[in-house]
């Protein structure tokens, strides 16, 4: 896990590249490297978090043996050993790193190497002869790529938005993105970001730059891979294949030269992960297990986690989040996020990575992805009625308050277009969550909070082979007797406690609603007031906001999503918390109502 930075074109300075590397140092504190092409047409920067081959031989930017190509990589190529064996007849490897294998794979197959990779990755290759840049992102966008094009075609690439700001990209809010977020609750659903003229390379795409011109190509689409037809093999045949892939996926993600741990909640997905760890490492596995709690029995899943670990050798480490920590932690996390994030659950998870760092664990595995594969969310079951489900679960009312926005700003929002890539509603909803909404959002949150503590997070259930196989299954293998994940429960029932495998779906939550009404009420009120007077304050009808805020404090709302949205506007509006200096004056809109 690392930070990458690149500049391609004529209109740039070495100081710009240095600033990008400096601001991403938290992503890779173990080393830095910079390459500037002698032509002046390209510069590459890298921050290294050493995971495989801790020696200098794994340093980046890495040059090919013939000197033609330079590579910078953020992420991991999990099947690098298999690829290395395939390439050894043509290449003599000097390191034990996956980076060198990826570089050889690109030399051998060009962009075709992407289809052979199992991993999470964002990488840049510079061709010193043809003076071309190639930038690629993994299938599910686990690793980020942001870019900014200057008017003359000069291209800036980075792992985080703040690095582009550091290199001179303007810090003006993208009003359409903000309007869409505040009106519909959408965080990440397209290549647009919350910042004007800064884009995200979509998952499963690559970008090519040459002579100040660039093009973007989609190299992976799960809908095309899955196809419209259902898998008509027997459940037994599918279960055998899926279980084999599960074990292989976890086995690949245990490849590391530094200590690993696992993140656990009390749900089916974490239980599955733990069971697979034992399948791969044996019952004597003693990797550290981390969970977060808040001291609220209504939300904490510690009893289920303790049940899972009762007969194992795993040391359970509890990362406790308190209400008193929230104001300071929120400010810190917002700086690293660069864009709005998901409230107290994100803060609790961020503290878990701090705890892992304190215990010397560099790599952690978690259980993201099963709900989207096997229809685990509550609204998937409502799909049987033919209604297109909402974007946010767990509330009986609208999670957003668009009536609190000034009308001309609200008009800038873009309604979400529900994808119809499959012939059935259920798979279209799964596709939406995996490609457009939930997974992209979770991957951004998780990448930034893990990198904030210089920890690597691996997602074994976001292996494309698992996802493709699950999406091919008919609905009765996903939802049965009013519960989702039917076939997954059957598959894992043999190696996890029945009390866990049959437990109902419980969203990973914290007492955000209760804390914002209780011990954090004064802080929340002050932040909302500050947000109304900050850089984004002109978007809101202040009187309407205060009215809705007070109703929330009185207990007249069952969700706090919109309250956190408003707190987030204040966090992002402050210097040092994500918004570049001067951006607070970028809006001329009258903020009075």
Domain presence at residue 230: no
Domain presence at residue 507: no
Domain presence at residue 227: no
List Cβ neighbours of 228 (8 Å cut-off, separation of 6 or more): 422, 423
**Residue 584: what pLDDT?**
34
**Residue 580: what pLDDT?**
39
**Residue 390: what pLDDT?**
65
Pair (547, 441) in one structural domain = no
Pair (113, 205) in one structural domain = yes
Give SS3 for 137: strand
Pair (216, 283) in one structural domain = no
Residue 75: which domain range?
Answer: 2-171+198-220
Pair (88, 205) in one structural domain = yes
Beta strands in 64-108 (DSSP E): 69-77
Pair (16, 136) in one structural domain = yes
Per-residue tens of pLDDT for the chain, all 593 residues: 699 999 999 989 999 999 999 999 999 999 999 999 999 999 999 999 999 999 999 999 999 999 999 999 999 999 999 999 999 999 999 999 999 999 999 999 999 999 999 999 999 999 999 999 999 999 999 999 999 999 999 999 999 999 999 999 988 999 999 999 999 999 987 899 999 999 999 999 999 999 999 999 999 999 999 999 999 999 999 999 999 999 999 999 999 999 999 999 888 899 899 999 999 999 899 999 999 999 998 888 888 888 888 888 999 999 999 999 999 999 999 999 999 999 999 999 999 999 999 999 999 999 999 999 999 998 898 755 566 666 665 566 789 999 999 999 999 999 888 999 999 999 999 999 999 999 999 999 999 999 999 999 999 999 999 999 999 999 999 999 888 999 999 999 877 766 555 555 555 579 999 999 999 999 999 999 999 988 788 899 999 999 999 999 999 998 999 999 999 999 998 754 444 333 333 332 333 32
d(CA 460, CA 440): 16
List Cβ neighbours of 397 (8 Å cut-off, separation of 6 or more): 557, 558, 559
Domain presence at residue 184: no
d(CA 463, CA 245): 9
Structure tokens at 168: 């001179």
Pair (440, 540) in one structural domain = no
* Domain C-terminal end among 479, 501, 523: 501
Spatial contact of 51 and 76, defined as CB atoms under 8 Å apart: yes
Pair (470, 527) in one structural domain = no
Pair (79, 149) in one structural domain = yes
**Residue 494: what pLDDT?**
79
**Residue 505: what pLDDT?**
55
Spatial contact of 334 and 344, defined as CB atoms under 8 Å apart: no
Domain presence at residue 398: no
Pair (157, 298) in one structural domain = no
* Domain C-terminal end among 464, 480, 501: 501
d(CA 308, CA 272): 10
Nearest to 420 by CA among 429, 411, 412: 429
Pair (483, 527) in one structural domain = no
d(CA 369, CA 376): 10
The count of structural domains within the chain is 3
- SS3 letters for 504-571? CCCCCCCCHHHHHHCCCHHHHHHHHHHHHCCCCHHHECHHHHHHHHHHHHCCCCCCCHHHHHHHHHHH
Q: Give the CATH number, domain containing residue 33.
A: 3.60.20.10
φ and ψ at residue 2, rounded to 5 degrees? -150, -175
Domain presence at residue 296: yes
**Residue 581: what pLDDT?**
34
Pair (477, 363) in one structural domain = yes
Pair (96, 127) in one structural domain = yes
Domain presence at residue 460: yes
Which helix (H) or strand (E) element contains residue 215?
strand 213-218
* Domain C-terminal end among 501, 528, 556: 501
Spatial contact of 544 and 501, defined as CB atoms under 8 Å apart: no
């Amino acid at each position: 896990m690392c930070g990458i930075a690149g500049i391609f074109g004529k209109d740039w300075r070495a100081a710009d590249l240095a600033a990008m590397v400096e601001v991403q140092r938290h992503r890779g504190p173990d080393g830095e490297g910079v390459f500037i092409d002698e032509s002046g047409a390209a510069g590459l920067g890298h921050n290294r978090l050493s995971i495989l081959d801790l020696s200098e031989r794994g340093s980046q930017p890495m040059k090919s043996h013939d000197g033609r190509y330079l590579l910078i990589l953020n992420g991991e190529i999990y099947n690098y050993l298999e690829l290395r064996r395939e390439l050894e007849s043509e290449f003599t490897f000097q390191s034990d790193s996956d980076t060198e294998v990826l570089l050889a794979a690109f030399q051998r197959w060009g962009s075709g190497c992407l289809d052979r990779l199992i991993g999470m990755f964002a990488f840049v290759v510079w061709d010193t002869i043809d003076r071309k840049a190639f930038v690629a992102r993994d299938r599910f966008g686990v690793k980020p790529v942001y870019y900014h094009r200057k008017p003359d075609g000069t291209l800036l690439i980075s792992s985080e938005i703040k690095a582009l700001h550091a290199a001179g990209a303007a810090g003006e809010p993208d009003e359409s993105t903000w309007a869409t977020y505040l009106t519909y609750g959408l965080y990440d659903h397209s290549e647009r970001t919350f910042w004007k003229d800064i884009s995200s390379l979509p998952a499963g795409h690559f970008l090519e730059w040459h002579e100040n011109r660039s093009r973007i190509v989609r190299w992976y689409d799960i809908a095309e891979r899955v196809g419209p037809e259902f898998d008509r093999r027997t459940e037994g045949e599918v279960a055998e294949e899926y279980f084999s892939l599960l074990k292989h996926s976890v086995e690949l993600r245990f490849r590391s030269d530094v200590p690993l741990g696992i993140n656990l909640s009390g749900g089916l997905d974490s239980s599955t992960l733990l069971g697979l760890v034992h399948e791969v490492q044996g019952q004597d596995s003693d990797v550290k297990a981390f969970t977060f709690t808040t001291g609220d029995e209504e939300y904490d899943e510690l009893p289920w986690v303790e049940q899972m670990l009762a007969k194992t050798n795993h040391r359970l480490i509890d990362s406790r989040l308190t209400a008193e920590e929230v104001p300071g932690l929120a400010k810190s996390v917002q700086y690293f996020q660069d864009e709005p994030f998901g409230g107290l659950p994100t803060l609790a998870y961020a503290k878990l990575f701090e705890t892992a760092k304190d215990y010397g664990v560099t790599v952690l595995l978690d259980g993201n992805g099963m709900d989207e594969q096997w229809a685990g969310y509550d609204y998937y079951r409502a799909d049987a009625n033919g209604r297109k489900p909402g974007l946010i679960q767990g509330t009986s009312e609208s999670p957003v308050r668009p009536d609190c926005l000034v009308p001309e700003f609200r008009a800038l929002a873009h309604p979400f277009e529900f994808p119809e890539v499959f012939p059935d509603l259920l798979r279209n909803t799964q596709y939406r969550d995996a490609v457009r909404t939930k997974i992209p959002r979770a991957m951004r949150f998780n990448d930034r909070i893990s990198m904030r503590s210089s920890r690597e997070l691996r997602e074994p259930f976001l292996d494309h082979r698992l996802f493709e196989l699950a999406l091919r299954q008919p609905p009765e293998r996903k939802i049965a007797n009013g519960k989702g994940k039917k076939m997954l429960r059957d598959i894992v029932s043999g190696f996890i406690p029945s009390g866990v495998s049959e437990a109902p779906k419980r969203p990973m939550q914290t007492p955000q609603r209760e804390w914002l009404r209780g011990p954090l009420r004064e802080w929340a009120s002050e932040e909302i007031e500050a947000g109304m007077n900050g850089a984004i304050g002109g978007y809101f009808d202040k009187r309407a906001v205060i009215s809705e805020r007070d109703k929330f404090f009185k207990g007249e709302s069952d969700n706090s999503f919109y309250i956190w949205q408003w707190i987030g506007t204040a966090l992002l509006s402050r210097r040092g918390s994500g918004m570049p200096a001067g951006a607070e004056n970028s809006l001329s809109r009258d903020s009075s109502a």
